[in-house]
């Protein structure tokens, strides 16, 4: 039985820059740094973001794509998150077209081409909105 998400591992070209991103931009807490010792395939750092364990390992950055990690934020905090990302000098990607009721999102790349989304909605809201159909009046 799958119990849930264990961790997310991302390859990064610079562990110190990744630490700054996770701590300063996302507000994560570093809980481990391998230093020169390696138990895995490369030097690494572990972060806790809420209850989610992120591992970052030295390696080659992936190519850019729409594949992304979405993190939930409160609607009231949307503008402050947008300002924080802009202040960090991160590239914001234009979002996709949305229908009313599915929340707002900020898509942005970290320094190693990973796409993150800060999203104000949740799964229950999204499913309810999609049940309403394209016109939003109960059509399917």
Q: Annotated catalytic residue: which of 44, 102, 125, 132?
A: 44
Active site residue 30: no
Query: What phi and psi values does residue 38 have, to the nearest 5 degrees?
Result: -130, 130
Residues in Cβ contact with 120 at an 8 Å cutoff, skipping those fewer than 6 apart: 72, 73, 74, 75, 78, 103, 104, 105
Angle at 122 (CA atoms; ends 125, 72), nearest 5 degrees: 155
Catalogue the active-site residues.
Answer: 44
């Amino acid at each position: 039985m799958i119990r849930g998400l264990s961790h997310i591992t991302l390859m990064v070209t610079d562990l110190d820059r990744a630490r700054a991103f996770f701590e300063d931009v996302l507000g994560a807490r570093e809980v481990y740094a391998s230093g020169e010792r390696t138990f895995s395939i490369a030097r690494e750092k572990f972060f806790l973001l809420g209850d989610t364990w992120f591992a970052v390992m030295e390696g080659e950055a992936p190519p850019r794509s729409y594949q992304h990690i979405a993190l939930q934020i409160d609607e009231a905090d949307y503008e402050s998150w947008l300002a924080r990302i802009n202040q960090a000098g991160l590239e914001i990607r234009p979002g996709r077209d949305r229908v009313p009721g599915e929340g707002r999102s900020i898509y942005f790349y970290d320094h190693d081409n990973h796409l993150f989304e800060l999203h104000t909605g949740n799964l229950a809201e999204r499913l309810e909105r999609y049940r309403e159909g394209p016109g939003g009046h109960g059509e399917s």
